[in-house]
Amino acid sequence: MGMSKSQVEVVLGAPPGDYTTGSYNEPPMGGVFYALSTKWIYDDGMILVWFDENDRVNEAAFCEINTYNRPTILDRICKKLGIK
């Protein structure tokens, strides 16, 4: 591992955040280990990354999420263009 946070952001194409297009249920995880992770959340799943004291990747994981009312491709294009 050992990638910097900025390198991870380049690979994933965005800073950490919620990029889902609808509602979802987070995986049944919890505790300090989960809380300390940095998360990128997409319709296809959640990427969790843990950084060490030097801000380098120490561990990473992918978890599927259940999405609801997932919009169609046309809905997503309209949202991106600001058309309702």
Q: What is the pLDDT of residue 70?
A: 67
Instruction: For 64-83, write each residue's pLDDT tens digit.
Output: 888 776 677 787 888 888 88
Q: Which tens digit of pLDDT belongs to each residue from 15-52?
A: 999 998 878 877 777 777 778 899 999 988 999 999 99
What local confidence, expressed as pLDDT, does residue 32 receive?
A: 75
Tokens 């690979």 identify what position? 11
Coil, strand or helix at 15: coil
